[in-house]
Every structure is written in C-alpha cells, then in structure tokens.
Amino acid sequence: MKRLKLILLRIVQIIPVLLIVTMLAFWLSNVSAGDVANVTLQSKGIQPTEESLAAIREELGLNDPLPVQYINWLKKACRLDFGVSFQTNRPVTEEIFSRFPATLELAISASLLAVIFAIPLALLATRYRDSAPDHVIRVMSSIGATMPDFWIGLMLLYFFGVQLKIAPIVAGSKIQNIFLPAFTLSIQYAATYTRVLRGNLVEINRLDYIKAARARGLSEGGALVKHGLKNAILPVITLIGVNFGKLVGGQVAIETIFSWNGIGQFAISCMKVKDLPVIQGYIIIVLLAYVIVNLILDVVYMYIDPRIEVE
C-alpha cells in the first residue's frame, strides 16, 4: 500500500537527521564544555592533579580520537545511557525522565488547546468576515500573538488562584492542574493558527467547490466546516509540528510560574554548570520527541489530504 510505504520512507528519512543531530550534540558540547576531565573530577570532589587528570582521561576515553569517542558515546546513547550527571551524580536518563513527561504533557496539551481554540474562531471570523466578529477576533489574535506568555501566566494565576481561589497557586506538575499552564502557552499559538486558518478559509471560500456545496443546499457555515476546514487546516498541521519543537524543549518561564517540574528549568541549570552528559541527553530526548510527533503529524496530514500519495 502506498500510504504505508510513504510512512516507512519518512521513518527511514529520520535516521540521517538523528545521526547529524547526535553528532552535533556530541561535538558542540565537547567544545563548549571546556575540559571534561577537569569538570568530572571536580564533580567527584577530587582535586585535579596531573596524575588524576590523566587517569580520568584514560577512564573516560578522552584520549581516543573524536570519531571513536562519538561511536562509543552513540552506542551507549542508543541504550539511552548518557552517563551520570556531574551535578547530581545520578544517571542522566533518570534525571531527564523524572521531568520530561511533565514537559511532554504540557507541550501536547498546549498544542491541542491552540487548535481547539483556533478552529471555531477562524470559522467564525470567516463566516462573518469584514464584520464585527471578524474584527474582534483579529484584534484578539493580535494581542494574543504579541503578549508575553509569562505575563499572561501571572495574570491568570492571580485571577484564578488569588482572586477566585479555584486554582492552586503552587500546583506542582499534576495532570489535573495542567489547564492553566497549557492555556497560557497555547494562547500565542492559538492566535497564529487562527490568523493562518482564517486566511486560508477566506481563500477557499471563493472556490467553486464551496459554491457548489452551497448550491447543493449546505449553509455557508456548513460548506466551510464540511469542505473548507479540511483543506484549510493542512498548513496549520505543519505549523503545529514546527512549534512543537519549541514547546517540547521546555518552557522555563511557565514552568517557574506554575511550579511545573518540567525539563526546561533543569536543562538551563545544567547548562550553567556545563553538565555535559545531561545536555547531550536532553538534546537527544527532545529531538526524539520532536521527530516522533512530526511523524505522527505527517500521517495525519496524509489521511486528511490523499493527494500526498500521488506526489
């Protein structure tokens, strides 16, 4: 089947991407982290001397040529073994996986919320284009796209947590508390998607198949929902994939405001102390999540637009 073949092709295409990014992650952090042997020793509380440095270099394989180091590192990385954090002395995988699910939940919820808000708003704006609802939605989306998310987050927390007391102020990353941080993050994306979707819908609304659907007896709104949306949403699906990369890397400000124990804050703190194994593991895990989500979106895209198979 063509569709299955295309999906397999996409999976195969991921392999070079993974190789290149792992190479860059390995190489970049080797360059930027300074002397790894020195950092490792200090993290173990050993005074770096000539002998101890030489010993640790031998132990870590730092005397091997860089490609060999990379292969060795990659072999372990394939087993999700990125070594031990300099900072906490716990396995990197453990450190990351105690935080990453919270980030993933937040990223997925925010992406979904953005689409859930954008679709009805864009439909409404298109149906009543150039009249009041359209203008209101346009102004709202301009504001939404430009307001800093930490400000929105603080205001929401103040309003729902302090004034109305219906949301906990220090929530922690429990799934039942996800709405406020996810909503905060979703606003800027909802605003962008609304505008893109409205633009596409207005274009599509002029096409013959919408006119033909109305000539068959569908209402203008009905024709937009049944025939416009499926075509108009395709570019938005691409955008969701691109933006997911930003979301899944962690959102330091939002995590801090909503005391959400995500990967963002942890990654930043590790970058400050050049905690090399964690940074490498972080890059790889984020990349994997990004790639997998985009693969899923590719499949969704294919199911919405059968023309992809032909290309």
Partner 1 sequence: MCNEEAVLAVKDLKTYFYCKGRVVKAVDGVSIDVYKGRITAIIGGSGSGKSVMSLSILNLIDKPGKIVDGQVLLHGKDLLKFSEKELRGIRGRQIAMIFQEPSCALNPVVKVKKHMYEAVRIHDKGARMNNLLDGFRQTLLRVGLSEPDRVLESYPFELSGGMCQRVMVAMGLVTNAEVLIADEPTSSLDLTTQAEILEELLRLKEEGMAVILITHDLGVVAQTADDMYVIKDGKIVESGTVREVFANPKNEYTRYLMDPITIHN
**31 — phi, psi (to 5°)?**
-70, -45
* Residue choice 218, 271, 273, 302 for contact with partner 1 (CB under 8 A): 218
Q: Please report how the helices 234-248 and 100-127 are oriented relative to each other, as an axis angle in degrees rounded to 10.
A: 150
Kindly tell me which of 224 and 257 has the beta carbon lying closer to partner 1: 224
Angle between the N-to-C axes of helices 179-205 and 132-146, in degrees from 0 to 180, rounded to the nearest 10: 130
Query: Would you say 60 or 218 has its CB closer to partner 1?
Result: 218
Distance in angstroms (rounded) separating the CA atoms of residues 198 and 129: 9
Give the separation between CA 147 and CA 141, rounded to whole angstroms: 10
Is the distance from CB of 197 to CB of 215 less than 8 angstroms? no
The residue assigned the tokens 């009805």 is: 120
Tokens of 175: 């799934």
DSSP calls for 54-113: HHHHHHHTTTS-HHHHHHHHHHHHHTT---B-TTT-SBHHHHHHTTHHHHHHHHHHHHHH
Q: Residue 232 CB, nearest distance to partner 1 (Å)?
A: 11
Q: Which stretch binds partner 1 (CB under 8 A): 79-87, 162-170, 207-215, 255-263?
A: 207-215
CA–CA separation, 78 and 87 (whole Å): 23
Shortest Å, Cβ 222 to partner 1? 8
Among 209, 246, 269, 296, binds partner 1 (CB under 8 A): 209
Query: What is the per-residue binding string for partner 1 in 228-267, x denoting contact by CB under 8 A?
Result: --xx------------------------------------
Q: Does 190 help bind partner 1 (rule: CB under 8 A)?
A: no
Is residue 203 a contact point for partner 1 (CB under 8 A)?
A: no
34-54 as b/e, with b when 16 or more CB fall inside 10 Å?
eebbebbbebeeeeeeeeebe
Q: What is the closest distance, in whole angstroms, from the C-beta atom of residue 195 to partner 1 in the complex? A: 22
Q: How far is the CB of 304 from partner 1 (least distance, A)?
A: 7
Instruction: Determine if 159 is a binding residue for partner 1 (CB under 8 A).
Output: no
Q: How far apart are CA 180 and CA 251, in angstroms?
A: 14
Among the listed ranges 27-35, 204-212, 249-257, 260-268, the one in contact with partner 1 (CB under 8 A) is 204-212
Residue 306 sits in the site that holds partner 1 (CB under 8 A): yes
Q: How far is the CB of 105 from partner 1 (least distance, A)?
A: 32
Q: Looking at 54-62, 63-71, 155-163, 205-213, which segment touches partner 1 (CB under 8 A)?
A: 205-213
Binding residues for partner 1, per CB under 8 A?
A: 207-209, 211-219, 226-227, 230-231, 304-307, 310
